[in-house]
Chains A and B, each alone.
Chain A
Amino acid sequence: MQLSVNCDLPEALPGSLVDLRQGDAAILDGIDLPTEDARRLMELGFLPGTQITAGRSAPGGDPQVFQVDGSEIALRRETARRLKVRRKKTARLDAKPRV
């Protein structure tokens, strides 16, 4: 049996926005989308280096609301997957380790 991996989190864990569960926070690293689409996202606050927190979602988890730069923006999973993030080490340390 493995103890929660959260405790052994490295400094930064690469992943994308879809990996975040409600309440998780992460730092945006880059947007893997065509320039025009990326620009739209940036105008809404999805800028590299910004902290993003996952919020509630539609039934079934798609689309999901993300708290970013003072507003709440909903993205579909297919888009959220293209937003690469690194998880902050402290993000889930306070969460109960699951066995």
Chain B
Amino acid sequence: MGGCSDCSSCNTATVVEFSGSQAGPKAVAVIGPPNSGKTTLFNRLTGLHQKVANFPGVTVEQHTGMATLPDGRAIQLIDLPGVYSLSPRSEDEQVAHDVLTGRRTDTPKPEAVLLVLDSTNMGRHLMLAAPILALGLPTLVILNMADDLRKRGGRVDLEKLSAELGAPVALVSARRGQGVERVFEFLAGAMPKPAPKELPILQDVPKCRQWAGHVGTQASYRAPAPPKWTRRLDAVFLHPLGGPLLFLAVVIAIFQTIFTVAAPSQTAVDWLIEHSGRWVASVLPAGLVKSLVIDGVWKGVGSVIVFLPQILLLFLFIGILEDSGYLARAALIADRTMAKVGLQGKSFIPLLSAYACAVPAIMSTRTIENKRDRIATILIAPFMTCSARFPVYLLVIAAFIPNRPLVGRFLSTGAAAMLGLYVLGFVVAVITARVLKSSILKSGRTPFLLEMPSYRWPTLTSLGLRLLERAKVFLVRAGTIILLVSVLLWGALNLPYANGHPPEIANSLAGTLGRTIEPAIRPLGFNWKVGIGLLTAVFSRETIIATLGTIYGMDPEANKEGLQAALHHDLSLGGAFALLVFFAFAMQCISTIAVVRRETGGWKWPVLQFSYMTALAYAGAFAAYHLIG
């Protein structure tokens, strides 16, 4: 252990020994304050070998991964949530504390700790070192963002710092991969217990900061110059007038790009699915099996997979905004608006991520300390236009709204309609929040604290891993829920099977179900075919596309025309708008209902939310059909 060799206090340190017969790899925890680059380092160390789950019983995400040492041994890394201290007050801190002290039975007690700190802000970040070193676990103190420190003229004496802390220290740049070999060295080495010269009283924040300052001075730490580029960029992004305008421009540009750039890639995926389907059809003997595979599986699941490129593009943009540091500025600009409806800027990040998917968004509301604010945010999050609504909107808009330029080349009618639906969801969410916060969820305000990280270039690795994770989630859903519903639907469309022929769709089991609910949805401009789609969409929104794909796939007439053209048989323009509004408001997602139940600890809130959203969807669709139709 190079950094520790000349540290006299290490003489008393005991070396932790691992018995050779130990089952499974060593577990090592990764911890650090928010914005310390902890996730970047975790990605760098584990690469593709990671998985995301939830700590059982709480809402904190658990990232674990495998790092392979140069000698081939594997180490299990546990990425703990970003925390400023270990005093267990928030759920994040509680989890970090419990894992590190071995109180969670579901997670192995870490045998060592990688403490990740921002070297450009070492004074404050070192405060977390005190409670970590006090645990007595072998610890490597990692000073991250070494490239920034160097560029901005900061410096630190690693040997002296190591001596002060009684633990090895590594200066790395996780983004560039510099110094990461020191981390591997530590993981492969003997891992001595830390022996700090002194530690402050952990409960006393000023004392902890004093200690951190003292340690910094002893290590001849010179803080770097303020980030010039961050100041320059903030002059633009936080300009009183230019800032909000730029924010709007960024949002519009994202939607426009998704519409124009994604079209060719979508055609490509479409082509792939169709041709693979034809090939499969040519191999299979005609009959029920072929019908199941082609009409049930290929048409059903395929019509959803087509939207993968768009969804990945959306997540790519969200990833760039978040990793570059712009998202925090967006939250700052939006805070006033959030305050007007009684929420806080912290609700903004979960709400923004609800544009991707309500499930992780609802899980991320745990950063809101105020319980009533948190429940209000959970209740309105599903109104945000999630990526499952996106393909439904795309299909209906493409089928019913001719795509013409609206504002020159910058905004087309299709993109404008899509933007309108996003605004609609947002407005209803805001009104709902206002109503909730002035009635059943009234509360005092909690201080709003938001750290503005320095702007950084997003790394390809982080973006790539994000997209991979999203693609996995999407494909797993397509391969499980949507596949299951598609197959069940195919069955319901083929029953009752008589004289070796399937029934007319209208007389099948599914058709009968659709016609049973038809009187209820007729006032919205929907017929029984759309009704079947609405029934299956209760599981997840995009299933309606798979359903319509299967229904039309079995109808030889409609099969020839394609999904968009076939829709015109069953929906008027008014009905199409009603369908869009219905999807904007309704809570059609089993996963969201499940996560709300878990996060709020009972059925009360999810039942209320489901009833309210369904009622609103019905009323909204009714109004849309009668106003336009």
Contacts and interface: CB of A to CB of B under 8 A. Distances in A.
Contact of A44 (B84, B234, B243, B339): B84
**How big is chain B's contact interface, by range?**
35 or more
Interface in B406-452: 445-452
Interface stretch (B117-125, B316-324, B531-539): B117-125
A59 B84 contact: no
Nearest to A49: B206
B589 interface: no
Interface stretch (B38-46, B330-338, B514-522, B569-577): B330-338
B423 to A, nearest CB: 19
Q: Find the residue from A37, A63, A69 having the highest chain B CB count within 10 A.
A: A63
B32 interface: no
B446 A37 contact: yes
A43 B84 CA distance: 7
A72 B336 contact: no
A81 to B, nearest CB: 11
B144 to A, nearest CB: 14
Contacts of B223: 70
Contacts of A70: 120-121, 123-124, 223
A44 B452 contact: no
Contacts, number: 100
B96 interface: no
B240 A59 contact: yes
Contact of B124 (A39, A45, A79): A45
Given A63-B345, A69-B123, A70-B121, A37 B335 contact: no
B335 A58 contact: yes
B470 interface: no
Contact of B451 (A60, A73, A76): A73
A65 B238 contact: yes
A63 B209 contact: no
B608 interface: no
A82 B234 CA distance: 26
B447 A40 contact: yes
A56 B84 CA distance: 24
B449 A65 contact: no
A75 B123 contact: no
Nearest to A70: B121
A: interface residue count bin? 20 to 34
Contacts of A74: 328, 332, 335, 345, 448-452
A93 interface: no
B238 A56 contact: yes
A63 B334 CA distance: 10
Given A39-B205, A42-B206, A43-B84, A57 B238 contact: yes
A52 interface: no
A13 interface: no
A45 B89 CA distance: 18
B205 A42 contact: yes
B503 interface: no
Interface string B166-185: 00000000000000000000
Nearest to A83: B447
B200 interface: no
Contacts of B209: 42, 45, 47, 69
Contacts of A39: 205
Interface string B290-334: 000000000000000000000000000000000000001000110
A41 interface: yes
Contacts of A24: none
B450 A63 contact: yes
B447 A41 contact: yes
Contact of A37 (B123, B241, B447): B447
B448 A76 contact: yes
29 contacts: A37-B446, A40-B447, A42-B206, A43-B84, A45-B124, A45-B209, A56-B238, A58-B243, A58-B336, A59-B240, A60-B240, A60-B336, A62-B336, A63-B332, A63-B335, A63-B448, A63-B450, A65-B234, A65-B452, A67-B226, A69-B209, A73-B449, A73-B450, A74-B332, A74-B335, A74-B345, A75-B447, A76-B447, A78-B447
Interface of B: 84-85, 89, 120-121, 123-124, 127, 205-206, 209, 223, 226, 234-235, 238, 240-241, 243-244, 328, 332-333, 335-336, 339, 345, 445-452
Please provide the 7 A-B residue pairs with the shortest distance between their CB atoms, ordered closest to farther: A72-B452, A42-B205, A79-B447, A70-B121, A56-B238, A43-B84, A74-B450
